[in-house]
Structure 1
Amino acid sequence: MQLPPADRTTSPFTGFTRAHWEVAADALLAAVEPYASPDRALYHLPGERTSWSGRLSDGLEGYARTLLLAAFRRDEKALERYADGLAAGVSGIWPRIEDRSQPLVEAASIALALRLTRDQLWDRLDDGVRQRAAAWLGDALTAEPWPCNWELFPVTVGGFLAEIGHEPDASRTAIDRGLERIEQWYAGDGWYTDGDGRKFDYYNGWAMHLYPVLHAWLERDERLLELYGDRLSRHLSDYARLFGGDGAPMHQGRSLTYRFATTAPLWLGALTGRTPLTPGETRRLASGALSYFLDRGAVDDRGLLTRGWHGPDESVLQGYSGPASPYWASKGFLGLLLPADHEVWTARERPGPAERTDAVTPVGPPNWLLQSTRSDGVVRLHNHGSEDVRYDPYYTRLAYSTVTAPSPSYDNSVLVGDDPSRTDIEPLGAGDGWVASRHTAGGGARVTSVVLARGAAEVRAHLVAGAAPGTPVRVTGWPATEGVQAELLPVFGLDDALTGVTGEDATLFVALARLTADADPVPLAELVSVRADEHGAVEVRWSDGETLLVRLGAQAVEVT
């Protein structure tokens, strides 16, 4: 991908301007064209099909997700090609939208693209094509979604169909039903779970906020925009902290192959005026993420997005990750809806949170602790409240970062009797420099955990109860990664191999941990000292003299 020269005047951190985003969008669109069917209704990108859908559905996914990119780009020539594909697709080629089927997902991208480019695409179609397209999309109004972010796909389709006057009553019913259903998953302070339970991840940004806010904005509904826009603004206060100084998003949650779709809520805040971020900070974070992935092999030598994180990587895929799935990254180009003279494009880049100062920030609803260090730009997420065992290990580890990926050897875990499982996570609170939770492990043992953080240093304490006396316990820390130093030192209850055994009662295990990209860090033992006893009391003294007393119990954690 041949990008324009870096502009270090306007963009001192990334060198990227709007021109870089335009060139990237154009290159991605050009690269998929050889894989379009002769009628352009399907895009059969190379790679193994998923067991989730099938060849037709995968081809539809390729059409819909790249159409969304063309819509954000507002590329007349590209939209003409997609108009041809739409006419063919709704004439019997595309699979029907049925309950919990992949075409329901793709219908939302198609409907949103048509709504955003109505003057360029939809209004220029023949009446017969419009009627068939509306009828095909109309099945989304009554198709039952999976009980998660899928509830917003009928909302998005309904918004477009209501606008063009197709089945207005059914469209409004689908909109109201979907928006009502997601209310049960709003956890407060700008955070949703992705369905029942405690599934907190990037679906907050590229689905749970994106569709309602865009719907309200396109509807010009000030009441809805105030509701969903205010939630988005609050969310962005936390969300901006999930990006490292090198531009990397946090490596946590599912569907990570969407990569720079993580930038969508950043642009969305600027587009709707619902953001706490300055224009220069918004562009710095978004351009940093795009640059991060383009520099690390996200696009192969054919110009196609691969299924992975940097390059191809099966470890980040799910059963629904087909050849075209990565093109939900198109959502990251939402910023192109902003005109070239908008201040988000013209303002000088400003540093992101990870570049401004060392910070240890609790995030309430997910019960996370975000720990960033300015010297190396690394952001660490201590997870004491997000869980979805279907997609382990991207939810169930104790910690994640912007420079590491979960390893097969169970990093950041407590293994009770060699069992690494972590289920039934119960948040026990988060505060100034600490976060705690309790979970089930080792065939029924309950582990109460707390981490205290300062700078890059961490104190990790685990109280294991309910295991038979003599049960082996092993504590693991950060995975080894090139260019990053990971440390884990035993403090109490653990030998030099970070193993111990349970006693007759609840047993305490304490370790010091650190993940740093600094070349010559101060020895960890000089930053913090710890004393602990078998009753679950841990005294932590930081090098500046501040002392905290932690009491771990079977039911609660107290930090004073």
Structure 2
Amino acid sequence: MTTFPSPSFELPPEDRASSPYTGYTRAHWEAAADGLLHAAWRWATPGGALLDLPGPPSHSGVRSDGLEGYARTFLAAAFRVAGAEGKDPYEWLERYGRGLAYGTRTPGRDDAESWPLILDHHVQGQPMVESASVALGLRLTRPWLWDRLEPGVQDRAEQWLRGALRHLPAGNNWYLFPYTVAGFLESVGREDAETARARERALELLETWYRGDGWYADGDGRAFDHYNGWALHLYPLLDADLAGDEHASARHGARLREHLESFSLMFGGDGAPLHFGRSLTYRFAASAGVALGAVSGHTPLSPGTSRRLVSGSLRYFLERGASGGDGLLTLGWHGPHPATLQSYSGPASPYWASKAFVALLAPAGHPLWTSVEEEAPSEGPDRVLSVPAPGFLVQSTRADGVVRLHNHGSDHVRPDEGESAREVDPHYARLAYSTVTGPTSVANPADNHLSVTVGAVRSTRRRIHPLGAGHGDGWGWAGSWHVPVFPAGPSTVPGLRVESVTVARGRYELRVHRVLGAPAGARAELTGWAAEPGGPVRSQLYGLHGWEAPEEVRAPQGTAFTRWAVLPRLGVDVAGTVVLVALASLTAETDAGPLEAVVDHVGVRSGPDGDTVEAGWAEDGTRTRIVFGREAVSVDHS
């Protein structure tokens, strides 16, 4: 049995009667919020305007990082106090009110307390992000903080916040920051044409980013990730509920409800969210959408299931070193992990995890807290769920609680960017992600990747073009194509293209790839999951058609889950058009057998209109048929 350290602050005794899966109650959430806040406030400036947490600065600089510490912890305090109807045993709001007064006294001045100005995102943009947390915190706690501030402090705060309305956000979820600032200003009677424009513009863009199935792209490209829950759904729905706008709440709430139909399956049986996408150091903020669904009533989940998910995620991280010995949230996943971070990550960045505490807006008598915990969707029967809009295939197995995401649609590449391997992001480029593994670093062999080597340079996967997705009873598929791009020499090879299809059933992944236009002398390689040898999870990869040369390669830099990892790899020389078929598995089942006998027949036929792959499953005699046409892929299973 694996044991983990206790959180670095005291929590109440477990309640296994009410919470048989996690032991956590609402009191645990309050204690966690207070523990995190106490640890962070030890690093406050004398006036409390900046929380200068220890660690290397972000690219925005120390002063911006100090504002980040104030704003993000303020959000946790606001949820904590608002959910308790103003009860504030540690006088958090008095501290944040004093910090607000000091920070806005002389904005932009280089002194011990002044906040940086809010400028365009490419000049000095990070304060715009933090302005949303400040505004939302003030809105949530208005009766106990804002309404008691001196008029001069209120005016200074408004003037500083209006910087978010007058400057250019980044072209993604950032537009919801001025939206949130404007919502607060309007809620306190300070609306005007400027606030109206900020809100209208954000909603216009949000509509263009909605792609269906409850999923938003984070901007004009195809970036689908955790920003859906902790930003793109959170800000507009919470704004509507705070404003009492039933029409907007119903509209945004319906989309959140649909989002949670698929997203709720993306938490493992141990409580872990999927390790996928950027800003993963925000950790349990991944449960913010689940919590908001329960608070607002816009959720397909029962209250007991919602609590199991949010408390499971909180406990997962608190028990695995997310808060260090000093109680501060570290920059990483479990503990510190530099490869998890982005250049904008600073010492206070992890405190966007505060968004999970939106759960505390449900009062003590709310069903979220009074209902008995129920199993998470991943703890039910084995499931395979396709989500066509983002191009996802989600696969969960009850025996080990592992959830896998097969990515055939999310790439974090802007529409104006060309095909280039100069900025490869392992958190989007891989074929698959899970709740128990992380991607290898760019300096190590890539896991879950189909590469083509030309002139001794391996390709990577950058822009992903979905080919479709679907599911049936106990199985599902998703497909995509991409142009292999190369980090050295010419970025692309004329005519070279890779089409990929994943078919999932049980713990198995049938991986089919068609390489088109490979030049003479090229070599294709496929890797599986990166795992620790002898660790709790086992990675398997077996060639079924076309592959040769099975081997195991090392990733000495490890992943967010293990210091050192290995991954299986298949390879073969290719030229022209080649169809390759393999079977993969990631499992924590101790008695999982080998893959050799799982598929008893593979046939590949080529014709003038494309290629057809048929695989027979030994266990039940069913057949999977994949047809690669000129412009599309079709898959059936019977």
TM-score band w.r.t. shorter chain: over 0.9
- How far apart are residue 426 of structure 1 and its match? 0.9
Native 8 Å contact 1:551 1:558 kept in 2: yes
Native 8 Å contact 2:384 2:504 kept in 1: yes
After superposition, give the CA deviation of every residue in 1:507-552 in whole Å (9 maximum; x if it has no partner): 0111110000000013323333341326232212222122121122
1:499 aligns with 2:538: no
CA distance in 1, matches of 2:615, 2:43: 59
- How far apart are residue 435 of structure 1 and its match? 0.9
Residue in 2 aligned with 1:483? 536
Q: Does the C-alpha gap of structure 1 residues 266 and 35 become closer, same or farther in structure 2, counting only changes over 3 Å?
A: same
1:436 aligns with 2:476: no
- How far apart are residue 168 of structure 1 and its match? 2.7
Q: 1:85 aligns with which of 92, 99, 109?
A: 99
After superposition, give the CA deviation of every residue in 1:82-108 in whole Å (9 maximum; x if it has no partner): 100000001011111111111111000
CA distance in 2, matches of 1:96, 1:144: 13
Residue in 2 aligned with 1:97? 118
- How far apart are residue 315 of structure 1 and its match? 0.6
Residue in 2 aligned with 1:551? 627
**What secondary structure, in the 3-state scheme, does the structure 1 residue paired with 2:264 have?**
helix
| TM-score (structure 2 length as normaliser) | 0.86
- How far apart are residue 554 of structure 1 and its match? 5.0
CA distance in 2, matches of 1:329, 1:424: 29
After superposition, give the CA deviation of every residue in 1:286-330 in whole Å (9 maximum; x if it has no partner): 000011001110000000000000000011100100110000000
CA distance in 2, matches of 1:71, 1:530: 60
Point out where structure 1 has 5 or more consecutive residues left out of the alignment: none
| TM-score (structure 1 length as normaliser) | 0.98
- How far apart are residue 362 of structure 1 and its match? 0.1
**What secondary structure, in the 3-state scheme, does the structure 2 residue paired with 1:423 have?**
coil
Residue in 2 aligned with 1:334? 358
Q: Which amino acid aligns with 1:228?
A: H
Residue in 2 aligned with 1:512? 583
Residue in 2 aligned with 1:392? 425
Residue in 2 aligned with 1:70? 77
Q: 2:519 aligns with which of 468, 471, 486?
A: 468
Q: 2:600 aligns with which of 508, 529, 532?
A: 529
CA distance in 1, matches of 2:277, 2:465: 18
Residue in 1 aligned with 2:448? 412
**What secondary structure, in the 3-state scheme, does the structure 2 residue paired with 1:434 have?**
strand
Residue in 1 aligned with 2:556? none
CA distance in 1, matches of 2:115, 2:191: 21
Instruction: After superposing the two structures, state which structure 1 stretch, 534-543 or 274-283, moved more.
Output: 534-543
Question: Sequence identity, in percent?
Answer: 53
Residue in 1 aligned with 2:566? none
**What secondary structure, in the 3-state scheme, does the structure 2 residue paired with 1:424 have?**
coil
RMSD of aligned C-alpha atoms?
1.2
Residue in 2 aligned with 1:541? 616
Q: Which amino acid aligns with 2:591?
A: D
1:363 aligns with 2:387: yes
Q: How many residues align?
A: 558
1:22 aligns with 2:58: no
Q: Which amino acid aligns with 2:450?
A: V
Native 8 Å contact 1:490 1:496 kept in 2: no
Instruction: After superposing the two structures, state which structure 1 stretch, 144-153 or 468-477, moved more.
Output: 468-477
Native 8 Å contact 2:19 2:372 kept in 1: yes
Q: Does the C-alpha gap of structure 1 residues 554 and 47 become closer, same or farther in structure 2, counting only changes over 3 Å?
A: farther
Q: Which amino acid aligns with 2:463?
A: D
Q: Which amino acid aligns with 2:275?
A: H
CA distance in 1, matches of 2:424, 2:161: 31
Residue in 2 aligned with 1:458? 509
CA distance in 1, matches of 2:230, 2:372: 26
Residue in 1 aligned with 2:465? 426
**What secondary structure, in the 3-state scheme, does the structure 1 residue paired with 2:518 have?**
coil
Q: Which amino acid aligns with 1:38?
A: P
CA distance in 1, matches of 2:600, 2:246: 54
Residue in 2 aligned with 1:57? 64
Native 8 Å contact 2:469 2:479 kept in 1: yes
After superposition, give the CA deviation of every residue in 1:211-265 in whole Å (9 maximum; x if it has no partner): 0101111111111111111001100111101100000000000000000001111
Q: How does 1:28-427 map to 2 (within 5 A)?
A: 28-51=36-59, 53-74=60-81, 76=88, 77-92=91-106, 93-100=114-121, 101-388=125-412, 390=423, 392-408=425-441, 409-417=445-453, 418-427=457-466
Instruction: After superposing the two structures, state which structure 1 stretch, 163-172 or 273-282, moved more.
Output: 163-172
Point out where structure 2 has 5 or more consecutive residues left out of the alignment: 1-8, 82-86, 107-113, 414-422, 486-491, 551-569
CA distance in 2, matches of 1:170, 1:104: 16
Q: Which amino acid aligns with 1:85?
A: G
Structure 1 runs of 4+ aligned residues shifted over 4 Å read: none
After superposition, give the CA deviation of every residue in 1:186-212 in whole Å (9 maximum; x if it has no partner): 101211000011100000000000001
